[in-house]
Structure 1
Amino acid sequence: MSRRWTALSGTQIGSVHVRDGLPLQDAHTVLVTDGTAVVAVADGHGHRLHFRSDVGSALAVRISAELLTAALPHLTDPATAPGVLREVGTQLISRWTEAVHDHVAQQPFAGDDLLLVDPADPGQRTRPYGSTVLAMVATDALLGVVQIGDGDAVVVTSAGTALRPVPEDPDLDGSRTTSLCQPDPGASLRVGALDVRAEDLVLGYLCTDGFSTSRVDADGWWRQTGEELVGFARQHGFAWIEERLPGWLEEPAAIGGDDTTLALVALTSLDPGADPGATASATPTTR
């Protein structure tokens, strides 16, 4: 019997962004089709040099979800999936850069913007749109991740054991992040894929760094979160989680001050009220 996945996501604007009158600069998207799921989150940098980062993050989640969906026919073997995911990441960088240039052409920099960016310099043109990106794909065979920048990707076994599917980025120092807008974003591209059956995986989640930076237990919060999400799914179901997710994100967004976003994929069989024979329809959401 094939494994079928569902997905959901939520976000909260950070208290510092509310105080400073800044827009929500995180973005997230969810796509569930025929038992496979794709989720993506992105964190626009928010610094004054990245004054269009809300646009950059929205472009990042849309493009990464589109590319992972298109790659689904090739994501059938965990052994070859990293190569496919790396190609997705390479295409993401190219398409994101092209989309940013199109946006600049449609809405040229003007006024005070010109004090921060030289539109004649292609290297500066993407900087105002700076964003991280994290995307996860769940199929019958594997859970795969594409990542540039900070944020967390975690997968969880049926026993509640949490694992990190991508390697650490040595360039992350806690105050700066690698980015789609850096001169060579491909150098910071990280991918990973795990065999769903061999690892007995039942859930995966992504979160922007607004979720982690407010946690006291820096080494254990992601394990606890994974274990709790599996437990909640089994005990209460996905509708219960989706209803409460925005409230769960309010505290870290208020305490840490940063926008906070979480997206998850999970086997439909975790939900005690799920119909195991049901077919999921395409349900894209982007915020």
Structure 2
Amino acid sequence: GGENIGRQIAKIKRGQHVYIGTPGRIKDLIERGILKLDRVSYFVLDEADRMCDMGFVGDIKSIASNLPAERQTLCFSATMTAQVKSIVQEFMTDPVTVSVVKNETNDHIEQTVEYFDDKDHKFQILLDHFDNPDVDKTIIFGETKHGVQRLSDNLNKKGLNTEAIHGNKSQSQRKRALAKFKSNKTDILVATDVAARGLDVPAISHVINYDEPQAYDDYVHRIGRTGRADKKGSAVTYVNSSRSQSKAKKITPELS
């Protein structure tokens, strides 16, 4: 999606060995009668958990219904959620699970917790973070699309140059935001978990969990944006002081 479909149709009609696409665009091309999948040998689902989070399960099932029964299916996922397990059970026979790495945090990442009393205190802690001269490129994670956009807008009003990426942004808007972040035109990116999946930006010094992640796997994935290539990184998680520490430790066990 987001690219000229006419050029894509022309390439398909010339014949190709491999087709790579988003579920929505592939489904569209199938429904137009342009893309035929009856001779497919390999069906690959990359970032399956992200596609489930974005609501593409129906599209994936529709695409799979056009595939031949005799094929190999490969499913790649950062986390093995219930939805991903359901897809595996439906589309695969006697599947084998290969775990590349354990869901553990990087020893190069300094992990800390900041406790806040209310939303104003929380926002002030965030502003104070950017007074630190050691802070360079920072990703701030929020829980919701609207919350991420609101936080980005509020930081911009305080004179900070930020970009936001979330599900309400078009693909072209996300690309522009990421291009600015990668080229150092902005040093602050505010993002939801889904929008930041697969994000590969070198030299991120800090990750801030402005909103707590819902699960430990999400925590590992978030803070993994920093501390790469044996470089030091810092991850800070904001936790409401009214919460019991035991609840917070379920998500951030390394901080216990």
How does the TM-score come out when normalised to structure 2?
Answer: 0.25
Which one has the bigger strand percentage? 1
Q: TM-score, normalised by structure 1?
A: 0.24
Which structure has more RCO (C-alpha within 8 Å, separation ≥ 6)? Answer: 1
